[in-house]
Amino acid sequence: MKIVSPPAPPASRPPQAARRKQLVWWGIVGAYAAAVFVVSVIPINVDVNVPYLDKGVHVCEYLLFAWLLVQAVRATRMPERDYLLWAWIYATSYGILIEIVQAMIPWRSAEVADAVANAVGAACGVWIGERIPRTPFGSDATTE
């Protein structure tokens, strides 16, 4: 007589509302990343005599990007310590990638200081995201 074991339960899937929340946040992140890319590669002729204004813009740009990433990664139900680190890594890596792309474009320039400003802005965005955990799409506890 052959003993047959019961079938394995299906893989756990997030509830529909949680999945929808993830898709919305990742969609927002993707749209913002695309906007950052476009703004970073188009030719610009800005002649403003405010010292370090561009570094402030980099900090603000990546602060918002990292905050959005915190919301998106948080929606995946990853442990907090992990999603905060991953949000910073994603934002900082994207900032470095943009600087590399700008180095290859004749009408743009890449600077290490810009990459540092991106990383600082990302760290600030993660810090704010950690302290302001509620999202506009409801609390972290979703119900069906």
pTM, two decimals, is 0.78
Q: Map tokens 């918002």 to a residue.
A: 64
% of the chain exceeding 70 in pLDDT? 82
> Residue written as tokens 């409801």?
138
Region 97-105: mean pLDDT is 95
pLDDT, tens digit (0-9, with 9 covering 90-100), for 40-86: 999 887 777 778 888 999 999 999 999 999 999 888 877 777 888 98
Torsional sign, CA 126, 131, 135, 141: positive
Residue of 128, 124, 109, 123 whose CA lies nearest to 54: 109
pLDDT class of 137 with cuts at 50, 70, 90: low
Model pLDDT, residue 8: 54
pLDDT band at 144 (very low <50, low <70, confident <90, very high): very low
Q: What is the rounded CA–CA span in Å between residue 69 and residue 82?
A: 12
The span from the CA of 99 to the CA of 94, in Å, is 9
